[in-house]
Amino acid sequence: MKEERPMNKKTVVEINDIKKYFPLRGGNKKNKKFVKAVDGISLEVYEGETLGLVGESGSGKTTLAKMILGLLPPTESTVIIDGKDIWADKNIRGRGKEVSAVFQDPASSLNPRSTIYKTLERPLLINGYSKEEAKERILETVEKVNLRKELLDRFPGELSGGQQQRVSIARAISLMPRLLVLDEPTSALDVSVQAQTLNELLRLQKELNMTYIFITHNLSVVRYMSDRICVMYGGKVMEIGKTEDIYDDCLHPYTLGLMSSVPPLHPRERERKKYLLTGDMPSLIDVGEGCRFCSRCSFRKDICESTQPQLKDMGDGHYVACHFAGEINF
């Protein structure tokens, strides 16, 4: 089921029933098997918002992000950014003006043999900037991310982890993309540096009117950063809605299991409903016709094993893929 677009909000990203299947090696062609990493996801991301993607490892978050970034071709469907089909355009180099990314480990995403200046200059030159125009944009960008100009002549190994991540952010925003995909951008940083980086990202979003997709395992961070949260499991969307609805009134057992894993920060949160997740995520090779979460759900019934639930509209932009959404007494 497709989300209903909120009034007066422009859609930046539109995805409709996208799939990514990875073929397994070996076996015969007639009975070819696939890993269904992303299996029919539909969602929209709106201008100026942050959509958080959460879920256990293997849920399909990074695979979905790679398709949005143009790094991994979908098996079915496509990605629309600002009304443009990014997979219909073969000019990969030009995608930096539409979508860019900041990854988990800044050290591994920066060329150790290039100075910071050269690292920031290269994408600008590729996208048609002259040397002088690139220099002007670099100086503007490092100022925006609070990176000292004297660091431009240094190499990544001479910078701290926080400074390296600022370089990654500067490179990502230098072309003023409409969408920024943030894949665990603070997980490799110290706690104090994490807070600084998150606040800088929020400030930049407001200043530049950027749209974020924020991928993380840290539920406290996603709560701080996100306007809406999309919960993924086994290549499917389990629940999507406003951040406060997901945290305070989630309706899917898997979402509640994730939220129950976060230590309460306030005495009132100790009294909220809890649900303990047990077992492991099932294989995505021979998936059945039923709910992906069925094998781990203590509320399952016969229909859960035989029929995949569709996203139900629970009102106010809150959607849940559960046959018994709103009926379960946790």
- Residue 136 forms part of a structural domain: no
pLDDT at 192: 82
- Residue 169 forms part of a structural domain: no
Domain range spanning residue 26?
Answer: 11-98+177-320
- Residue 224 forms part of a structural domain: yes
pLDDT at 260: 86
pLDDT at 287: 84
pLDDT at 38: 97
Please enumerate in sequence order all residues whose Cβ is within 8 A of that of 52, keeping only pairs 6 or more positions apart, or say none.
214, 215, 216, 222, 223, 225, 226, 228, 229, 230, 243
Assess contact for 291 and 320: CB atoms under 8 A. no
Mapped to the 3 state alphabet, what secondary structure does the chain carry? Answer: CCCCCCCCCCEEEEEEEEEEEEECCCCCCCCCCEEEEEEEEEEEEECCCEEEEECCCCCCHHHHHHHHHCCCCCCECCEEECCEECCCCCCHHHHHHCEEEECCCHHHHCCCCCCHHHHHHHHHHHCCCCHHHHHHHHHHHHHHCCCCHHHHHCCHHHCCHHHHHHHHHHHHHCCCCCEEEEECCCCCCCHHHHHHHHHHHHHHHHHHCCEEEEECCCHHHHHHHCCEEEEEECCEEEEEEEHHHHHHCCCCHHHHHHHHCCCCCCHHHHHCCCCCCCCCCCCCCCCCCCCCCHHHCCCCCHHHHHCCCCCEECCCCCEECCCCCCCCCC
Q: How far apart are CA 297 and CA 305, in angstroms?
A: 11
CA atoms within 13 A on the CB side of 124: 24
- Residue 328 forms part of a structural domain: no
Number of domains in the chain: 1
Q: Supply the pTM of this predicted model.
A: 0.91
Sheet holding 228-233, edge to edge: 99-102, 179-183, 211-215, 50-54, 228-233, 236-242, 319-320, 312-313
Write the single-letter amino acid at 191: V
pLDDT at 3: 57
- Residue 92 forms part of a structural domain: yes
- Residue 253 forms part of a structural domain: yes
- Residue 239 forms part of a structural domain: yes
Q: Is the C-alpha dihedral spanning 253, 259, 261, 263 positive or negative?
A: negative
- Residue 114 forms part of a structural domain: no
pLDDT at 272: 67
pLDDT at 4: 56
Which CATH number covers residue 210?
3.40.50.300
- One digit per residue, the tens of pLDDT, for the chain of length 330 reads 555 556 568 999 999 999 999 998 876 667 788 999 999 999 999 999 999 999 999 999 999 999 999 999 999 999 999 999 988 876 555 566 789 999 888 888 899 999 999 999 999 999 999 999 999 999 999 999 999 999 999 999 999 989 999 999 999 999 999 999 999 998 878 888 888 899 999 999 999 999 999 999 889 899 999 999 999 999 999 999 999 999 888 999 999 999 888 777 666 666 667 788 888 888 898 888 899 999 999 999 999 999 999 999 999 999 999 999 988 876
Residue 39 in tokens: 């299996």
